[in-house]
A = this chain, B = another copy of it.
Amino acid sequence: MSNIEHLVVIGTGLIGGSVALALRRAGCVERITGVGRSAANLEEAVRLGIIDDFDHDIKKAVADADMVLIAVPVAACDSVFQSLASSLSAGAIVTDAGSTKQSVMISAAKYLKDVSRFVPAHPIAGTEHSGSAAAFAELFEDRMCILTPNEKTEAKALAKVTALWQAVGSHVEVMSAREHDDVLASVSHLPHLAAFAIVNAVGKNDAAFRFAAGGFRDFTRIASSSPEMWRDIALCNSLAIVDKIDALQAELKALRDALNDSDGDVLLEKFKAAKQARDSWLDEYGEKL
């Protein structure tokens, strides 16, 4: 990709730090400035060679940037846009890494004078760790990154942000923010909420837990995710998630009806359809996971 002269990474944690490391490794960035609230984390990031310098003041930090990456939790995006809007230089391009996209685009539209150089992104990658010490250059390799430009997005900005995410190793997909939020509600947000709901439903009988086995451990792993992060994601994508909860409740009702009717044919048909869908998904995409 063409060079980035001054990249400002707002939120120098696992995601922001890993982007910085990967761009540095790809040799396409001159200077990286970190922005964050924790001085300890930013000092650690300098020590680890992730960033060159840091600033606690977003306004000051972005004034000279030609590329800004917002890598804060989705609930914090709104205030970040508010802070940086007035001091962003005319040609600066902005991208982000948030898990929901319509909410981020609403924040951008609210504060940016010109949204044409904001290209929303969602790299589908992560680990259960956080902080700059958890960052590594390979995090995005062979992973998907979804960009959700709209009709106002400048082609040059889209090209530059596409090149950025490709430079860190991702496969870039483009879709609308609405489609993104719907797809992620299906494959990520619903499963997470359902895992929390199942653990709570089962947890009413604490004694049962000691008889849980490996299947339960795998099935509920995502229920050990950060409650705060998931509250924020859920609130930022509530419409699409409600829709998916309705679909899940309809499927559960169909199983319940079949159980009440002792209808083995319906159960078998439902279980076979699910197994087939999952197995073919795994055949096609499983080895990349």
Contact = CB atoms under 8 A, between A and B. Distances in A.
B213 A188 contact: yes
B273 A203 contact: yes
Interface stretch (A5-13, A29-37, A153-161, A241-249): A241-249
Given A194-B194, A207-B183, A251 B200 contact: yes
A57 to B, nearest CB: 28
Interface residues of A, number: 90
Interface in A172-228: 173, 182-184, 186-188, 190-225, 227-228
A169 to B, nearest CB: 15
Classify the secondary structure of A's interface with B: helix
Interface of A: 124-125, 144, 146, 173, 182-184, 186-188, 190-225, 227-228, 230-232, 234-235, 238, 241-242, 244-253, 255-256, 259-260, 262, 264, 267-268, 270-275, 277-279, 281-282, 284-286, 289
B202 A186 contact: yes
A182 B200 CA distance: 16
